[in-house]
Every structure is written in structure tokens, then in C-alpha cells.
Amino acid sequence: MTAATTPDGTDFTLICDACGQSVAGLGATMHNWDLVWSLFRRHGWTGARLATGPHSCGRCSRVPLASADADPVGWLAGDAPSTPAASDVAAEPAPAVPTDPRVSGAVADEALVVALSGDLDIEVGPALRAALSPAGYRPGHLILDMSRVTTLDSSVLGLLVAARHRAAQAGGHTCLVGLAPFMRRMMHTLCLLHLFVVLPDRATAVGWLRGDDADLPRQRDLRGETTPA
């Protein structure tokens, strides 16, 4: 994640993934990601259109991605190490799936439901990745229960956006339920809110995915005005 937000979601800093150069106070002065990125692109920054990155500053964008030694170990000359035979490789146990008490996941009603809680920072990343891609699960509909989240690190938001893209590529929808006001402001400022279906709770999300949207409650937008769900 290269647009790091403040805890209240009202401001953000753009960070170069290559050198770490940062430009702070962008949300407070220009108010949303799309405006910021259109300006910074004119000044040589390159990268993804979404705030989740990656992004490179003008200086780093001019540095070739290939290393000076294009063939550091001689593989292009035919010196690649031989692949050992299957019989020569000792069977190794599968690595343990990382876990974290702040993350839980289960498949229910033909959707993957991942519930998050507490303060979510970069350390929750391995467990969150595992929960979003459980063994044997084919990507489809995804429900992200955020009702018990107290703080949200920008790196975690990047993982959620990536999971949303995987679900969309498989023809699925991603529902965010229980969003706190600060999370809604954060995602609105970074122009990411439109990527998700925002609903009040799990039951409503399950009904929406089934097509039972006739009685969906009206939701309040960022200004406090009611809008149809």
C-alpha cells in the first residue's frame, strides 16, 4: 500500500515503493486520491491507478528495472542448476497456515466470510492472506465483516482490495459489512469505496448476494444523507 492514511481516514501520504520518498498532507489539501494521482503523474510519478499501488517517484521511474548484470548466475548460458529427481527430494510437511486471533474465515452460503477485529496492522498480513485464500477454495463471492475493527492499517486495506480483484475476476462480488465511519472516510478519500458493495451486516450481504435486495435498508452517505442501498 503506497497511500498511507491517518487513523481517522481524513488525510493520506503518498510513498514511493522504490526509495521511500513520501509526500504528506495530500488528503487535507486535495481531498481525494484521483485528483492527487492525476497531478503527480504529470510530475513523473508512475504506477497503478488505484491508491493501493505500487507507485514510483519521478526519479525512481527513470531507473531501469533490470539489474546491471542481466545474467548474474549464468542461467542464460545454460548453467542453470539441474532439477533433482522426485525420488531425491525428501518429503517435507506442508507449512503451517498462519493464524491470528484478529482474523477468522469460513465458507458459508456459497461465499467466503472473513471477519476482522481489533487493531489491524502489517503484522496481521500473513493470517489475512491465508484467510482470504484458504486451501481448496475457488474465488467467488466474498463478505468482509469489519464491524469489530478499531483501527485499519493501509497495508491491510491493500490486501482487501487485492482480494476484491480476485473475486471480481472470478465473477464474484465483495461485500463490506459493519464499516465504521472512519473506515468509510478513508476509503472514500482514497477513491476505493466504489469497488465494494457496502452493507450493514452479514445477513443483508447474504441476502443481497442471493438477489434478495427488495427490502435493503437505506444507507447514509458521508454527508449523513440517506441514499438507496
Quote the Cα angle for 128-125-109, to 5°. Answer: 10
Cell numbers 489491524 correspond to what residue? Answer: 120
- In whole angstroms, give the CA distance from residue 228 to residue 221: 10
Residues 6+ apart with CB under 8 A from 68: none
Pinpoint the alpha helices (H) of the chain. 26-30, 33-42, 58-61, 125-132, 154-169, 181-189, 202-210
Across 4-18, 76-90, 147-161, the highest mean pLDDT is recorded for 147-161
Cell numbers 463478505 correspond to what residue? Answer: 143
- In whole angstroms, give the CA distance from residue 56 to residue 17: 6
- In whole angstroms, give the CA distance from residue 99 to residue 189: 31
Summarised one tens digit per residue, pLDDT across range 10-62 is 788 888 988 888 888 888 787 788 888 888 888 899 988 888 888 898 888 87
Per-residue confidence band for 72, with pLDDT thresholds at 50, 70 and 90: very low
Contact 229, 219 (CB under 8 A): yes
Given this model, what pLDDT does residue 37 score?
87
- In whole angstroms, give the CA distance from residue 152 to residue 217: 26
Given this model, what pLDDT does residue 76 score?
36
Residues 6+ apart with CB under 8 A from 123: 100
Task: Report whether pLDDT(120) > 60.
Answer: yes
**3-class secondary-structure state, position 60:** helix
DSSP state letter for 75: G
Of the chain, the percentage scoring pLDDT greater than 70 comes to 77
Per-residue confidence band for 64, with pLDDT thresholds at 50, 70 and 90: low
- What mean pLDDT is predicted for residues 96-112? 87
Of the chain, the percentage scoring pLDDT greater than 90 comes to 33
Given this model, what pLDDT does residue 97 score?
76
**Regarding predicted confidence, which is higher, 155 or 101?**
101
Q: Which class for 105: exposed (0-12), middle (13-18), buried (19 or more C-beta within 10 A)? A: buried
Q: Count how many Cα atoms sit within 13 Å of the Cα of residue 132 in the half-sphere of its side chain.
A: 22
CA–CA distances in Å: residue 204 to residues 69, 111, 143, 228: 56, 13, 11, 14
**pTM, two decimal places:** 0.72
Given this model, what pLDDT does residue 79 score?
45
Average pLDDT of the chain, as a whole number: 79
Three cell numbers written together for 192:
476505493
